[in-house]
Amino acid sequence: MKILVINQTEVRKLLPMRECMDVMANALKILAHGKAVNPLRPVMRLQNGKGLLGLMPAALEEINAMGIKIVAIFPGNQGTHYDSHPGGVLLFDTEHGQLLSLMDASEITAIRTAAVSGVATNVLAREDADSLAILGSGVQARTHLEAMLAVRKIKKIRVWSRSTDNAKTFAKRANELFGVNVDLANSAQEAVESAAIICTTTSSKIPVLMGDWLKEGAHINAAGSSISTARELDTSAVKKSRLFVDRRESTLNEAGDFLIPRSEGAITDNHIQAEIGEILLGKNTGRTSAKEITLFKSLGLGVEDVASAHHIYHKALEQKLGTWVELGGERH
C-alpha cells in the first residue's frame, strides 16, 4: 500500500487562505447539522511540564472524510526556530479504512485556525470594521492578519508582543507578504483601545486582554489558548461580550477563557450564544447591534483538520503533488 506524503510547502500551496475559509465554513455547517463525529481530544501531558501530545480524530459524513491529527504542543518553542505545534494529519479512506495520506500538521493548523477566525469575523464583526489589533507576533499572528485582510477592508493595524524584536520582525514580514503597514504598540492596551477587530494569538496562560480596554462594537477572535487552565481574556472581557464558539461541547470542557469565568460565577453555560456553524446554517443569529461586543472563542477542532486534509489530498492528486511512499498495510 502506498500513501501520499504532503510536506509543509505543498500544504501551503494547496490550501490558500480564502479557499480554506470556504472549506472551514462547510465543515462547521456539517458539524452543526449533526453530520460529523468530533470527539473531545485526548491529551497526554509530559511529566516535565514542557509540552503536550494531543489527538484530534474526526469524521465528516457528507464529504466521506475520516482522519486524525496528532500534534505536539510546546508553547516554549515560540520565538525559537522550532515550531510550537509540530505534528501530522492522517487521512483515511471511509470505505475500507485504508490510510491515504500523511501531511504536515503545522501548516494545516496555522492556516485553518486563522481561516475559522476569518469565517467568524465575516459573520460577527461590523461591516465597517477597519482597524485591527493583533496580540502576539508568531505564526498565528501572521495567518490571522491574512484572514482579517480577506474579510474586511483594514486600514489600520497594530501589533503588540512581549518581544519588541519579534513585533518588529512581524511588521516587516507583514509588509513584505501583504503590502500593509503595521504599527508597533507599546502595550496590549494601546493596541486594542481603538480596534474594531482584535485577535489574541499568544501562548499566555494568564489574561493579556482586559475588558476595560474594549470599545463598543468590537469583535474579538480568541485563538491562542486551547486548554482549560489557560486564558487570554480576563473575566470582564468575556462577561461583557456575546460569546460564540466553534463547538459547545469543546468549549464546556476545554476553553479556559470560558471555564475560568464560569468557575468564578461571572457567567453560566447560557453565555454561549451559538456555534458559528449554526449561524451559517441560519439556525441562530450573530451580531444584533453595532454597539455590542462579540467574542469568538476558537479551540480548533478535528473536523477542521480532516476537512482541510481531505481538500488538500484531492487537490494534490489533481496537481500531481506530494510523494508516494510504500508503507504496507496489505493483507497477506
In tens, the pLDDT along 110-132 reads 999 999 999 999 999 999 999 99
Q: Where are the domains of the chain?
A: 2-109+302-326, 125-297
**Mean pLDDT in the chain?**
95
CATH number for the 2-109+302-326 domain, one of 3.40.190.10, 3.30.43.10, 1.20.1730.10, 3.30.1780.10? 3.30.1780.10
Residue 227: pLDDT band with limits 50, 70, 90: confident
Cα Rg, the chain, nearest whole Å:
19
| CATH 3.40.50.720 is the classification of domain 125-297 | yes
Residue corresponding to grid cell 476545554: 254
Contacts (Cβ under 8 Å, ≥6 apart) of 141: 134, 159, 161, 170, 199, 201
In the chain, pLDDT over 90 holds for what percent of residues?
Answer: 90
What residues pair up with 243 in beta bridges, in sequence order? 272, 295
- Model-level pTM? 0.95
Contacts (Cβ under 8 Å, ≥6 apart) of 122: 21, 151
Q: How far apart are CA 173 and CA 168, in angstroms?
A: 9
Q: How far apart are CA 44 and CA 112, in angstroms?
A: 23
Q: How far apart are CA 157 and CA 145, in angstroms?
A: 9
Given a contact cutoff of 8 angstroms between Cβ atoms, the answer to whether 29 and 281 are in contact is: yes
Dihedral over Cα of 49, 79, 302, 248: its sign: positive
pLDDT in tens, 158-207: 999 999 999 999 999 999 999 999 999 999 999 999 999 999 999 899 99
Dihedral over Cα of 75, 79, 80, 83: its sign: positive
pLDDT in tens, 275-302: 999 999 999 999 999 999 999 999 999 9
The number of C-alpha atoms within 13 Å of 25 and in the hemisphere containing its C-beta is: 16
pLDDT computed for residue 304 by the predictor: 98
Q: How far apart are CA 286 and CA 244, in angstroms?
A: 8
pLDDT in tens, 52-93: 899 999 999 999 999 999 999 887 787 678 887 889 999 999
